[in-house]
Every structure is written in C-alpha cells, then in structure tokens.
Structure 1
C-alpha cells in the first residue's frame, strides 16, 4: 500500500497537468510550506518585490497565452502587489495569485502575519477571491481558479491558503477539467451589425487591445481591407491590434471626449471592436458622438459593453466576430480611400549643447532596432514619438500597462522575455522607460540579469515627471511640487543590480551602445539624457 498523497503533492500534480510550472514570487514564511521540496520540473522566478513579481507574471502570461502562477506573502505581500494586480485585471491577463495565510489553529487569536479577511483586499481587481474552508478543498480551489482565470474575459484570481494545509492528506487526485476559452458571438445579432455596416457611407473602424489578445491580428487586417475604412487604435493602448504602418492606419484615438468627437466628425458609423467606448483620460467636455453618427461595439467583456455611453453592443470573441463579419460585409464600391496618416514628420533636433529630443532618440532607435523585436513602453510623455518612429507591425509585439499605473514596464519586459524563452521564441525586447517610471520597479532588472534575458532598457532621462507637468497646464494647477527628479544616478543603480550599463549624450553614442547591447549576453540599461518636452493631452 502506497503512502497517501498530501495536499502539496496533489496540487503540484494538478499544476503540472495544467501546464503551469513557472512560479513568480518572493518567498515569505507563510509560503515556505507550499514551496518546500520544490519540484525539479518547475521554475521559480525570484523577484525582489511583490509588485514586480505580479507584473513579471503578467508579461509572461501575455507572451505565452497561458496563465501564470504568483505566490505572495500574506496580507503585506498582497498589498505590495496590488498596483500590478490592477494592471493585470485591466489587461485581462489570466493569473492565479496565491498568498500564504497563518496557521488555521491560530487564526482565532489574530496572530502576527494573519490576514483576517484575506479575500477582501484584492477586490475588485480580481475575478474571484477565495480561501478554502478546509485543507482538502485546496486542489479543487486551484482547478476552479484556473477555470475562472481562463474564461472570457480572462483575468486574475486570488487564493489565500493557510500554511498548515499543505502537508495534510488529500482526499485523492485532483479532478482535472477542461473549459472553453472563447464565446461565439450571437450570429443573428452579428448579421444585423453587418447589415448596418453595409449601409454605412463613411464608416470608421476602431480595433482595440482585445483583438491582439484574441489572436485576431490577421482577421482585423482582412476585415479592415475589405471595408476600406480608416483604422484607429484605442488611446493609451496596452496592446496594438493593427499594423501601424498600414495604409489604412489612422493613429490612436485621442484621450478626451471633445477630441474623439472631432475625429469622428463626418463618419456615419463607428465600429469599435475589442475596445472600450472610449478610453478617456483627462476630462475635456464634449458630445460622445457627433449628430448623425451611430456606433457598434463588439467586445468579449460584458463590463465594457455595459459602460459604453452610446451605441449598441455585442458580447463575444472578437477574432470570431471579425472572421464572420468578413464573410457578411460587402466590399464597398466607389468609397474613396481614407487619407493616409502623415508620417513625413521631420526629426526635431536639439542644439549641440542640449540633451537629445525624444524625436532624436526614437529616430535613432528606428535605425538599429531589429524588425522582430518586441517593444515594452512606459514613457508616457513620449508615446507620440514612439508611434512615429517605432510603429508596431507584428502581432504580439507591443506591451504597455493596462492600468496607467507606473512601475509595470520594467518587470513586464522581464516577464515577456521569460515568456518568449518558455515558448522557444528568440527575439530582443526593447523597453523604453521614463526615468521616473524606472524607479518604481528598478529591482526587476536584477531578475533580468540573473536570467541573462535579451532586454535593452532605454531610459529617457529628462529629469522630470513630464506628463504631470502637462496635466498641470491642462488643469490650470500652477506650482505643483515634486515634479522634478534631480540627483538620480540610474546607471550606477543598474550596475549594482548586475546589468551592463551605458550613459549616452548623442545619437551616435546611442546607436553604438544599442548595437553593442544586441550582442551582449543579458540585459543592458542605456540611460539617455533627454529634454523635458511636454506632451499634448487634449
């Protein structure tokens, strides 16, 4: 007779069966019973802070298309990870986030490190939060967590597990279930949408981040080309869903109600697929739609359908919807081609004595970046320059925060690189990060160095929170303190974390150091002195 398996044994067997063999975290005392006798076929990715662990797992899951497992330290670690959890929720990333809990027998006296209401803290930024009532339910809770995380719209889930559960005897092997990860749109309603599209004289197409996440890149191109309409991206997008060098590409939507209205003027129909209606940021009042303009929205997310202020919505998988619409819509006759996006912008150059402009930085990168490299973006004040000089032309090759919170980009790049390695893809990751953003999760570069990841971090050192200075002008709030960042020696910090580093002042130095970084074994941090240019907000 064989020894009875423990909760620990059965749970690891389940994770192995589900293909979840990479764990991100920073070990704490309440998690060591889960991590003991760590299996040789599993990988533990150590982050030096829990927010970075969650963001790394987010990037990993986005790159692989599979859920990632994060192990946090009771209430304190969960609190550290919350900012990155918000980003994962907004990006519909399937994560199973676990946190250790104090011993069940002591919970009544609220001991040190106890989390008396563990499932409350992560809400509302998880799809499901649960602490099993008994140890025997832990494997089934993991199976349910996987199912909830993977069902559309995908997203993170949270499990709190007492530390004394793991060595208790299991009832038997875990029940392994399969689930659907896509929902077919209502065909009758989709046919009605197609009829309205066919009657439109001058439609506008918006392809949001859901399209790329759903593997709908090619379907989106085919539909757009048949429709012959201008294609916009969501404002502040976390994924790019249409080639930004395509003749139909018309740029991202603006960030304000008033400016969106102006872009839509003259179009009788807006078709928003995989996108929120609309992703606004600063408040500049206006009408949501011009008079005479209708709107159709297709999204996998019932929440986005419910909050749309105008238009008619359909809930379902956007890739499937695009493939069906391609067959249902007619190629228009006599519709004039939309005006191409003007890409003839000259490089705004600096004087010899001045730091580089963002234009000079991104133009230089465009001459040395490999075509197949992925870009991770967290330099909010230079989004326009990145679009101009580094357009995304391939699926799954642009990543940004889903929430707008600072600190996702550096660990997110680490996760994407690890995800590429997991799926056998050999490409460089170019992470353009603001100097302020870099400080939020700088410890992530240690993980990049330990794993010798092929990442080039380009830190734009403008010495300020430039985006906030733009907000101060927009909101007419003079004399806001603490918007400058003097005294940061980023290269010294990066060297201390084990990265190859370089400080550059000229475009020639930037190009030379970037080329060297492409040949290096492991990550490089290139710090570029730039001017504090203020971006347009609306």
Structure 2
C-alpha cells in the first residue's frame, strides 16, 4: 500500500475525466484537505457567502448543460446555502454539492463544526445524500453522485466528506461510467395521446420549462405551428420555452386555480408538455379545469406527473415526445390559427424623469439591448412589463428562480456569465433585480467584478416589497409591517464591491448608461428609481 495513490489524487483524477474542473465555493476549515494542492487545470470560483456560491453554480450548470461542483462548509455553511439549494432542486439543475465533515475519530463526541446526521440536513431538496462509510469509498461516491445528478429528472445531490478522508490511500483508480440523460416515452401511450390531440377541435398547448432545458425549443415551435394552437407558458416559469413574440403565444397562465380555469374556457384539450399541471401560487378557489376540458401531460419528472390534480400523464423526455408528436398528430386543414399577444413598438420611446414606471424602464432597455442578451429575472412585480417589451426570442436566454425565494437572481447571473465564458459564448447578461431581492445576495457582485463579467444589473428601486403588498390586498391583510425599504444606498454598496455604478435619473440617462455598461470591461450596477407597481396575481 505504500505506493497507493491517495483518495485526494484519485478523486481529482475522476473529476477531471468527468469534466468537473470548475469548483464553486467558500473555503472553510473542514474543506481545506479537499482543496489542498489545488490543480492548475481546475478553476476555483470564490463566492463570499454559501447561498451565492450555490446559486452561481446553478446558473453555470444551466448554461453549460453539465453538472457543476459546489464545495460548502460543514453544517452551518450548508445551512446558509439551503435557499439556493431549493431553487436548484425545483429547476432540475444537476449539481454535486459537497461539504466537509469533522474527522471520523472525533465524530462520536460531536466536536465543534461537526454535522451530526449530515445527510439529513439537505433533505428533501436533493435527489441523494450520502456520507461514505469509509475513506476508500469517496471516489465511488462521487461517481454515483454524478450519475444520480445527471439522470432524469436531473437535480442536485449531496456528499458529506470527513476532512481526514482525503489523505488516506485509495483502493485504486476510480471507475468511470456514463449514464443516459434521456428516457424514451412509452410508444403506445404516446400514440394514444397523439390520437386524442388529432381529434381535438380547439387545443391549447402549454410549454413548460422542461422544454427549454431539454434543448427542445425548435421542436416546440414546429409542433405548435403544425397544431395551429394557442401557446401558453407556465406561471412564474424559471425558463422560457417558446418565443414570446410568436403570433401563437398568449402569455403565461394565471397563478390561481380560478384564474387558470377562466383561461382554459373554450379549449377541449390542454396539452401540457414539460410543465406542471398547473403552477399555482395564491389560493383563489375554483374548479381545476372547465367542464369538458381534458388535460394531457408529458413530463420527464414522475413527481410532476403524480401531483397533477387532473388529466392523464406520460413520463418521458419532452424533446423526444415533441419530435414524435410532430409526425403522429394529424391536424384539420381548415383549422384557423389563433392570435396571441399584440405588441406595438412603433411609437416613440417614453421621455420621463425618475421615478420611472417599470413599463418605461423596459421600453428603453428594449431599444438599446443586444439581440442576443440573456435575461436573469428577479423583479417579480414587473414580469408582465418585461414580457411586453423584452420578449424572449431565443432558447436558453431567460432564467428565473425555480423556487420563488428571492436572492437567487444576482449570483445566478454571475453563474450564467461564467458558463457562457466556459463554453466560448460572448453575450451580455442583463439581470433585472428588485431592490429588495438585491440585498439578499449582494456580495455576489464582488465575484462578477473579480472576473470582469459582462453583466448589467438593473436594480429597480421602488423602496418596497411590491409583490408582497399585492398579496396583502389579495389576502385582505391590512397593516402588515416591514414592506417598505427606505434609505438604501445601493450604488454606494455596489461601488464598494468593485462594480461600475450609476444612479439613473431619467429615461435618457438610462439609455446612455446602459450603452456605456455594454462597453465596460466588467459588470455595471444601474440603480433606477421606479414607481410602485402592484402586479395582478389572479
């Protein structure tokens, strides 16, 4: 055994072969044995807080389409990252999340920084959680973690590694395996679905975030155009799966049971592909679907199939399903295509002084943004204005949180930009962030500055938690405290983290500063005072 390579050496060799050479982390004492002698061909992306670290890795993995490796500190550090872990789990992002653990010899006395029952802490927000029974099992545990994270539905996994495992001798080279990332839909059931769709008189197509994640953007367009059906998106979707300026696009579905029921009136079949049936938020009672409306769901996620309150479900890769439905479905020749959302960009751009309307902000940005820019969205109260003025037109160019918690958007934008750089893509990332959301993960802009990433953070400063005020009205809960955010000097904070910053006082200044941000060597934070704008939650 004297010539045996260490667990550290064998594990890094495995990670290299799997292409996991970017590590997102914030080093703690129990992780330094893993990070010692860090290889030159690996990249360590430092974040200043674990929630930001994990969200950066989430954005990176979504853009690259490959698992990302996250290294967290033991118990307390993992706890810091839990909010971002929930978002990654909900978005089916493949992550291998590791955390250090105290030495095996001391674990029985529960020493400082120990994580008792380490595998329990991240659950249920991981697909698999494991602490190897012995040091020699660490490389094999990483291989299994990779396989579990990759297989559909993809998602994060968690490994707890005692700090004294890394220097132990390994059993030998790690076994490298490959796994499938796609599951073929049941052919007979898919033909049954196709027959029912062919007999539909007025179908509605719902394309959810799985479609974009599966790389099936073009297949979704082709199927919608053959079907000549109205297309809707999931409410508060974390990805966009259909061009929002397409003539068939009718916008996202409402957020309530009653609202969805009303939106589905007159349709005899709803074809939900890669989408939950349905994504609800506030409770407004009603029937799930109108009488006479059938629901057909195709998803790669057995959980989404199991929780659907109505309809029939089919498990399988949505890209494969769309390609096969395109051949199987027959459409009446005389079916008239419906009209979707209408937009008029012919008018003059608004000229106004701050505080601006969110509509004015997006109108101006739409006139100066690059066509290929990616959007990271965490300004929930202004989402309708974004869709109106800045419709998503390309695959993998819209990103939002999968969980509903705030604080994901700023670090995720950093991860998206780093992912673009890793795959050799040059584009601007525009992060539209509410002033309340910006405070949750503001330290992530330091990483953006250190890496000189092409990100423009547009912070709409309305001085309140606007969407929560909408809920207060909906739920008839007056005098809720803590909904106002006075006296935040966001520009000074951003400057302190090393970012180019500007306070914007008018629409003309917004256009000028945004153009300057596009030419800057690194990130810019634009603080735009805006008028409160209560969104419709029905």
Q: What is the distance in 2 between the residues matched to 1:197 and 1:381?
A: 36
The SS at the match of 1:126 is coil
Q: Which residue of 2 aligns with 1:266?
A: 266
The SS at the match of 1:313 is strand
Q: Which residue of 1 aligns with 2:66?
A: 66
The answer to whether the 8 A contact 2:90-2:403 is kept is yes
Task: Compute the displacement of 1:352 (Å).
Answer: 5.5
Q: Where do 1:16-27 residues align within 5 Å?
A: 16-27=16-27
The SS at the match of 2:89 is helix
The SS at the match of 1:535 is coil
Q: Which residue of 2 aligns with 1:362?
A: 362
Q: What is the distance in 1 between the residues matched to 2:194 and 2:422?
A: 40
Q: What is the distance in 1 between the residues matched to 2:12 and 2:388?
A: 47
- Deviations 1:159-184 (CA, angstroms, capped at 9, x unpaired): 00000000000000001111011000
Give ranges in structure 2 of 5+ residues lacking alignment: none
Q: Which residue of 2 aligns with 1:441?
A: 441
Which runs of 4 or more aligned residues in structure 1 lie more than 4 Å from their structure 2 counterparts after TM superposition? 345-354
Q: What is the distance in 1 between the residues matched to 2:476 and 2:197?
A: 42
The SS at the match of 2:417 is helix
Task: Compute the displacement of 1:335 (Å).
Answer: 1.3
The SS at the match of 1:272 is strand
The SS at the match of 2:81 is helix
Q: Where do 1:412-491 residues align within 5 Å?
A: 412-491=412-491
Q: Which residue of 1 aligns with 2:83?
A: 83
Q: Where do 1:199-348 residues align within 5 Å?
A: 199-344=199-344
The answer to whether the 8 A contact 1:350-1:356 is kept is no
The answer to whether the 8 A contact 1:348-1:360 is kept is no
How many residues align structurally?
A: 538
The answer to whether the 8 A contact 1:198-1:329 is kept is yes
Q: Where do 1:82-121 residues align within 5 Å?
A: 82-121=82-121
The answer to whether the 8 A contact 1:454-1:523 is kept is yes
Task: Compute the displacement of 1:505 (Å).
Answer: 1.4
The answer to whether the 8 A contact 1:67-1:96 is kept is yes
The answer to whether the 8 A contact 1:349-1:359 is kept is no
Q: What is the distance in 2 between the residues matched to 1:224 and 1:332?
A: 14
Q: What is the distance in 2 between the residues matched to 1:93 and 1:352?
A: 41
Task: Compute the displacement of 1:353 (Å).
Answer: 6.3
Q: What is the distance in 2 between the residues matched to 1:171 and 1:272?
A: 48
Q: What is the distance in 2 between the residues matched to 1:529 and 1:56?
A: 27
Task: Compute the displacement of 1:286 (Å).
Answer: 0.6
Give ranges in structure 1 of 5+ residues lacking alignment: none
The SS at the match of 2:412 is helix
Q: What is the distance in 2 between the residues matched to 1:493 and 1:506?
A: 21
- Deviations 1:303-336 (CA, angstroms, capped at 9, x unpaired): 0000000000000000000000000011322112
Q: What is the distance in 2 between the residues matched to 1:352 and 1:137?
A: 63
